[in-house]
Amino acid sequence: GAGVSQTPSNKVTEKGKYVELRCDPISGHTALYWYRQSLGQGPEFLIYFQGTGAADDSGLPNDRFFAVRPEGSVSTLKIQRTERGDSAVYLCASTLAGLPTDTQYFGPGTRLTVL
């Protein structure tokens, strides 16, 4: 596609529910990143995929958060037993090769609200 897309754009859920957030990277990009942006803050790293494997998941806050990228393209971020503190904008980015000098192209984000 022309850019990184994320669905849904907005998600409202109740405390304790399960949610899935989807990211479609730019076609051909091997590296995919998830970030979380809370109100008034910069994006914070969650997890990084190189191909199908998670190369770095050190940013996942706890075991309620999980992400997959089974075919090396689309990725899904999964959050179990959501808490109000999970409310944030979840951003996805992709790069061609995952090099530190690569430009990360960001999607518009998914705004998650946990009531």
Partner 1 sequence: AQSVTQLGSHVSVSEGALVLLRCNYSSSVPPYLFWYVQYPNQGLQLLLKYTSAATLVKGINGFEAEFKKSETSFHLTKPSAHMRDAAEYFCAVSDPNTDKLIFGTGTRLQVFP
Single-letter residue type at 95:
T
72 CB burial (10 A radius; 0-12, 13-18, 19+): middle
Identify the sign of the CA torsion 104, 56, 40, 16: positive
Stretch that binds partner 1, among 18-26, 52-60, 61-69, 71-79 (CB under 8 A): 52-60
Greatest distance between any 2 Cα atoms in the chain: 40
Nearer to partner 1 by Cβ, of 52 and 80: the residue is 52
Binding mask 58-97 for partner 1 (x = CB under 8 A): xx-------------------------------x-x-x--
Binding stretches for partner 1 (CB under 8 A): 4, 31, 33, 35, 40-45, 48, 55-56, 58-59, 91, 93, 95, 98-109
